[in-house]
Structure formats: C-alpha cells, structure tokens
Amino acid sequence: MKFIRTRKLKKTIKPNKNIIQFHRLLRSLGYRDRVPLQKDYELITWKILESLTKDKNINVSGTYIFYRTKKDFVYKFYLENMKTMRYKKLKKNIKAILKEIVFEEKSRMLELGWRVNVHHPLAILNLDHKTKVRIYIAALKEGKKHIKYGIPEDKLPSFVSNIKDINKPRTGDLIVSNPWGIGQDTSFMMMALNKRGNINKHVGFGPVKTSGFQYGRYDSDLNFLPI
C-alpha cells in the first residue's frame, strides 16, 4: 500500500490579516484563545481500492488531517469559506462548530475521511450496486481500524518529531468527519451525504450536525463515543 504526503507543515504561523480577522470573529462570539495556529495543514492520503472499473478511472483513497488544537480546525474552516460564504453565514456556521466541538475544552482533533477519485464527478452515478457496496465496506473497515488503533507509523504527518505525539488516541481527542461526497447537483450531493453519514454512524460517529460535520470523542477509557 502506497502512502502519499502533500505539503510539509511547519510548527506555527505568524499573525496576519486573516488571523487577526479570525480572532475578531472568535471574540465577537465570546471566545478568546491566544494559542498559536499551525503553519499549514498536511493532508495524508493512501489508496484503499484501485481500478474499480474496467477503464480503471475510479479509485478510493483514505484521508486524514491532524490538528494540534480545535482552534486549528476552526481556522481551516474559516480560511476555506471566507471568500465564498457571506460573513453572517460564515459566522453562524463557526458559532455552530464551536458549540459542537465544545471549543473551551482543549484537545487535539483528527479529520478522518475517504474520497472516490473520478475523472468526472457524475461518473460515480454509473457504478453498479456491487461496486458501490465494495466502496462503502472498504471505507467502513478503514475508518474502524484507524479509530481503534490510531495512526500507523508509516502514515504520520511529516511535522511529527515524536511518534508519541499523535500515534495513539488520548482521552478527550475529537475525530471529525465531513460526509459530503463528490457531486455537482443538490440531489446527488444529498444522496452522497445520506450514504456517507450512515457509514460514519456505523464507524462510531454521531449524527450530522448543523454545521454538516459528524463527531466522535474518546472517553477516559479510550472508548470512541458518538457526539
């Protein structure tokens, strides 16, 4: 199995215009947090299934992003949506996320997911039922494995200097999953949302929240519980 790493992650980022505006937004919502933000966020991907169709144009990959703090997760959401989402809506969504993740309770976060890689977004609609079942089962097994055993040594982000930093779950660690799938029209995206959301529930995540995310948290006995 081949693992692919993207950009490297340096430790922290110096204050800039985006960070200043982000902190203002947090303060307007009643939150103050001076913890430095990560320099960048490294997306780790690895192949789960390959060449699902005769033309070999569809593959399935697992993905995750590690966040040192909940603040990093919220800031990444802010950066990804600040230019495409109206400020009032962005603020409303971030307010929902802060409440959902219990922002004031400090812990690490892991964004765990999977993606279907296709040359055209609608190509997945032409997959037969048997192939779709293979995809869902593979994603389900992969999710359960990572939640139970943590992150394998050969799948760690490049910024980790000590494997104990993130290799195993800790009490309070939060895992988030975004159930939105690939799609261009609303009906297809809702279909993907429902199916992926159900898969996530089988893995151990809670229901889809107002923000569109699903969450799970490790308790004091390291049991993964839905939120």
pLDDT tens, 113-155?
Answer: 877 777 666 566 677 777 777 777 887 788 888 888 777 776 7
Strands (E), the chain: 3-5, 43-49, 59-67, 109-117, 174-177, 214-218, 224-226
Integer-rounded Cα radius of gyration of the chain: 18
Q: How many domains would you assign to the chain? A: 1
Query: Are the CB atoms for 71 and 101 separated by under 8 Å?
Result: no
Q: Is the pLDDT of residue 186 over 60?
A: no
Instruction: For 5-41, write each residue's pLDDT tens digit.
Output: 434 444 566 778 999 999 999 999 999 888 889 877 8
Range of the domain at 137: 3-226
Residue 144: per-residue pLDDT:
83
**Runs of H (alpha helix) within 123-166:** 129-149
Is the model more confident about 115 or about 226? 226
Confidence class for position 179, pLDDT limits 50, 70, 90: confident
C-alpha angle 39-83-20 in degrees, rounded to nearest 5: 50
Q: Is the pLDDT of residue 157 over 90?
A: no
| 73 three-class SS | helix
- In whole angstroms, give the CA distance from residue 18 to residue 29: 17
Query: Are the CB atoms for 192 and 183 separated by under 8 Å?
Result: yes
Residue 166: per-residue pLDDT:
62
Confidence class for position 2, pLDDT limits 50, 70, 90: very low
Confidence class for position 173, pLDDT limits 50, 70, 90: very high
From 45-59, 74-88, 98-112, 189-203, the region with the lowest mean pLDDT: 189-203
Q: Which residue has the tokens 């494997």?
A: 163
